[in-house]
Structure formats: C-alpha cells, structure tokens
Amino acid sequence: MANNFDLDPLIINFGSNYENAQRLYRIINESESLFQDKKDDKKLYNQIKLISEKILSGSYARVKDQDWLFHADGRKINLIDASSGQQEALPMLLILLVFSFFPDSESNQFFIEEPETHLFPSAQRDMVELFTLLYANKNCRFFLTTHSPYILTALNNKIMAANVEPVKAEKSLGYKNTIQFQDVSAYTISNGQTQSILDTEVNLIGINNLDAVSDELSQEFEEILERKAQQ
C-alpha cells in the first residue's frame, strides 16, 4: 500500500492481509505439489473455491498487477468495473480461502461485519455454506454482525442438518458440512444491552426480530387489500 500514514491501523492490517492473500492464492493455484499428500484438503479447497466463484459470479486472477474476474461466458471484467458486491466480497473470500489452510492459530479467527453487504440472497446463502465448511473442517471461528434474515436462516438450516443423518451426508460429500448448536452464540443489541436470541427449546437461532418488519409489511398489504375490496 503506497501511503498508509493516515489510515486506521485495522485498515492497514486488512490491506496487508489482502495483498498477502493475493500472492499466496497465486502460489497455491500454480503449485502442483502443495496438496500432494493432503487429498482431503485439496478436495475441501476446491469446493470452497467453487463456492467463492459462485458468490463472485466468476473466477479471479491477477494479471499484470491488475485484478480481473473471468465469467463463464468468456467475458472478463476489471475489478474496478465490477459490482459493489464483487468488490467487497473478493478480499474477504481470498483471505478466507488462503489463510484457512495455514496452521497459524491466529489465522482461524475471523471478524466479519455484515457479510451480506451488496449480495443477492442466493450469494448470502453461499457465504454461509463457505463459513460452515471452514468451521466444520478447519476449526475456523467466526464473529459475524448481520441484519440479514437470509444469513440467519441459512445458519439455522446448517444447525438443523447436524441432527439429520449428518454422518451419512458427510461420508458422501467427503467433508463436514453442518454446524453444532452448542458452538453457536447469537445476540441482538438494543439500547446498549445484549440479549441472546438462541431458542434452546428447538436448538435454533431466533430470527423473529429481523422478520418482524416482514410481518408488519404483510399485515399492511392485507389491510390495503381489504380496503380495496370495500371500495
């Protein structure tokens, strides 16, 4: 980074991690022997890479000091011309993809603010799929802040899946793909106070707070229909 004198230390650190991730990503993809004795890691890496490409709607490559996204239809887009969602997601995805496969204990803890930002609901679901794979197979821990009911619902699906023939499913996949409820904490913050939103009766995350507006909008719609019928 050319001039980081006035930048926040966290931004500087993130920028440094991103640059390292770009370099390591290129090394990993050019190396034939990196996963030679770790077939499970290779399979997991390829699956996470595939999910990342779904989120980005293309594959990433750095060519002549420029970042590019290559689409399946042959188009290539410079990152500076990509969507806001792609620009925000790429650094996070590269860091997760690369650092999760290194043994440094500090590299398996990730603090992510609103991973849903500028992403379609389907991409938000894929993001949770990626988090789940890294949590279940690489012992990664995530601290997430979110306003997205899609993120919470996708997490709940992964928690529920842990109770439905998880061993059979994992054997067919070749890797773990569920979340244990006892490993999850979830809170809402109101007036400076935190309150757990875990529902221990059903062992899921309660998402009523985020869905309340949807209920209000549905009720408003029904009231409008009733007024229309009375005209």
Q: How confident is the model at residue 32 (pLDDT cuts 50, 70, 90)?
A: low
Residue 31 corresponds to which tokens in the numbers above? 């190396």
Spell out the residues 6+ positions from residue 205 whose beta carbon is closer than 8 angstroms to its own. 152, 155, 156, 159, 184, 186, 197, 198, 199
Helix (H, G, I), strand (E, B) or coil at 5: coil
| Whether pLDDT at 120 is above 90 | yes
Cα–Cα distance measured from residue 211 to residue 197, given in angstroms and rounded to the nearest whole number = 13
Check the CA dihedral 131-136-140-145 and report its sign: positive
The conformation of residue 202, written as its DSSP 8-state character, comes to T
Residue 113 neighbours by CB under 8 Å, 6+ apart: 145
**How are beta strands 193-196 and 198-199 bridged, if at all?**
unpaired
Rg over alpha carbons for the chain, rounded to the nearest Å, is 20
User: Mean pLDDT across the stretch 150-169?
Assistant: 83
Q: How many CB atoms lie within 10 A of CB 65?
A: 5
Instruction: State pLDDT tens for residues 1-30.
Output: 455 567 788 888 888 888 888 988 888 887
pLDDT average, residue stretch 97-115: 80
DSSP of 153-198: HHHHHHHHHTTSSHHHHHHHHTS-----GGG---EEEETTEEEE-E
pLDDT recorded at residue 164:
76
In terms of phi and psi (left: phi > 0; alpha: psi -120 to 50; beta: otherwise), the region of 65 is: left
Phi–psi pair at 174, nearest 5 degrees: 95, 5
Q: CATH fold of 9-184, please?
A: Rossmann fold (3.40.50)
β-strands 141-145, 109-113: how paired? parallel
Picking from 120, 177, 175, 121, the residue whose alpha carbon sits closest to that of residue 152 is 121
Residue scoring higher pLDDT (44 or 216):
44
- Per-residue pLDDT of 160-212, as tens digits, reads 988 876 666 566 556 688 999 999 999 998 888 999 999 999 999 987 766 66
Question: Among 6, 73, 21, which residue's Cα sits nearest to residue 52?
Answer: 21
Instruction: Please give the model's pTM, rounded to 2 decimal places.
Output: 0.84
Measured between alpha carbons, how far is residue 20 from residues 25, 31, 219 in Å? 8, 16, 50
Question: Using 50, 70 and 90 to split pLDDT, how confident is the model at 100?
Answer: confident
